[in-house]
């Protein structure tokens, strides 16, 4: 394992990001990442020299976490469920493959390897997962982004998903003002707003007022993935694929308590 140490350290931040998104919190995600690392220290042969370290780490993570994911809601009628319940109703394997392929960029074949299932089964799971996600109820969204073209792309994407954009803020002061006025159900925020200040500062102030879920969309993920302080549960790296943002929005809403996400009629 010694030969792989640098690669393990390099890829660990991605495992932690994935674990947070899958589990819904840094505390829960990091718990299973720690268990994964403890297993690796006890049995270094679990990650052989010369193997694909990233693939191996994700596979090992699943070997220790699968038993602890929330089960799907049995017998639920999706037509009448809230957005939270709709997405919690996703079987664990469907949540996993959505995040592996869309958030972490694994191919369906690699995701199948990580999950220890046939590729055909993985492909079927992915189709089923997107079908369920596309049934979600809409929510209201605030976009914090100082680049007009990127802001337009994000706004168009979330509108296509059925959500309502209540405002686009290019500065931290504007973001806080719009949030106070509209009380959206979700915030999408860049961290560097240029002359407009800091998206992190804006989000910090917003979270003092509400427990609204926040997704950071940034070209500088390393500023947040430091391991030195609490890290965001939901983080999308620019440039991003539309499916990556779609899945992250869905996963963020799935862990939102009823009443925290302001839903709109569709």
The mean predicted confidence, pLDDT, of the chain is 80
Q: What is the pLDDT of residue 117?
A: 92
Q: How far apart are the first and last CA of the chain?
A: 53
Cα torsion 212, 88, 84, 73: sign: negative
Work out the burial of residue 162: count CB atoms within 10 Å of its CB; fewer than 13 is exposed, 13-18 middle, 19 or more buried.
Answer: middle
| pLDDT tens per residue across span 32-74 | 888 888 888 888 888 877 778 899 999 999 888 775 554 444 4
**pTM of the complete model:** 0.57
Of 221, 255, 226, 253, nearest to 240 by C-alpha is 221
Q: Residue 77 above 90 pLDDT?
A: no
CB burial of 76-91 (b: ≥16 within 10 Å; e: otherwise) equals: eeeeebbbbebbbbbb
> How many CB atoms are closer than 10 A to CB 61?
23
pLDDT score at 189: 94
Cα gap 24→263, rounded to integer Å: 20
Alpha-carbon span 29 to 26, nearest angstrom: 5
For residues 250 and 233, what is the distance between their CA atoms, to the nearest angstrom? 13
Helix axis angle, 242-254 to 119-133, nearest 10°:
70
**pLDDT over 70, % of the chain:** 79
Residues 21, 42: Cα–Cα separation, whole Å? 27
CA separation for the pair 98, 122 (Å, rounded) = 10
Q: Give the per-residue pLDDT at 65.
A: 77
Cα 214 to chain centroid, rounded:
10
For 94, counting Cβ atoms within 10 Å of its Cβ (0-12 exposed, 13-18 middle, 19+ buried), the class is: buried
- CA 62 to CA 48: how far, in whole Å? 17
Closest CA to 222 of 8, 13, 11, 5: 13
For residue 27, what pLDDT band results from cuts at 50, 70 and 90? confident
Q: What pLDDT is attached to residue 261?
A: 41
Per-residue pLDDT averaged across 77-90, rounded? 44
Q: Which residue has the higher pLDDT, 51 or 166?
A: 166
Residue 180 has pLDDT above 90, yes or no: yes
Residue 259: its pLDDT value, please? 37
Q: Say whether the peptide bond before residue 96 is cis (omega within 30 degrees of 0).
A: no
The predicted structure's pLDDT at residue 154: 93
Name the 3-class secondary structure at 262. Answer: coil
């Amino acid at each position: 394992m010694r030969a792989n140490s640098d690669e393990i350290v390099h890829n660990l931040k991605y495992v932690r990001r994935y674990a947070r998104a899958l589990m819904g919190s840094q505390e829960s995600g990091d718990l299973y990442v720690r268990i994964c690392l403890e297993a690796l220290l006890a049995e270094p042969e679990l990650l052989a020299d010369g193997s694909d370290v990233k693939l191996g780490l994700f596979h090992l993570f699943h070997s220790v976490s699968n038993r602890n994911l929330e089960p799907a809601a049995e017998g639920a009628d999706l037509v009448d469920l809230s957005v939270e319940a709709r997405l919690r109703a996703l079987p664990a394997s469907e949540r996993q493959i959505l995040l592996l392929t869309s958030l972490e960029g694994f191919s369906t074949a690699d995701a199948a390897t990580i999950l220890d299932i046939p590729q055909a089964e993985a492909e079927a799971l992915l189709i089923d997962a997107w079908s369920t996600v596309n049934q979600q109820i809409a929510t209201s969204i605030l976009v914090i982004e100082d680049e007009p073209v990127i802001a337009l792309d994000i706004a168009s994407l979330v509108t296509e998903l059925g959500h309502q954009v209540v405002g686009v803020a290019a500065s931290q002061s504007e973001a806080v003002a719009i949030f106070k006025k509209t009380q959206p159900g979700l915030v999408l925020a860049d961290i560097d707003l240029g002359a407009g200040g800091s998206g992190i500062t804006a989000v910090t102030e917003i979270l003092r007022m509400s427990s609204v879920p926040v997704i950071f969309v940034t070209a500088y993920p390393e500023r947040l993935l430091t391991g030195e302080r609490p890290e965001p549960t939901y983080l999308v790296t620019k440039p991003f694929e539309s499916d990556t943002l779609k899945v992250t929005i869905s996963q963020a809403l799935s862990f939102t308590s009823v009443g925290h996400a302001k839903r709109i009629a569709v």
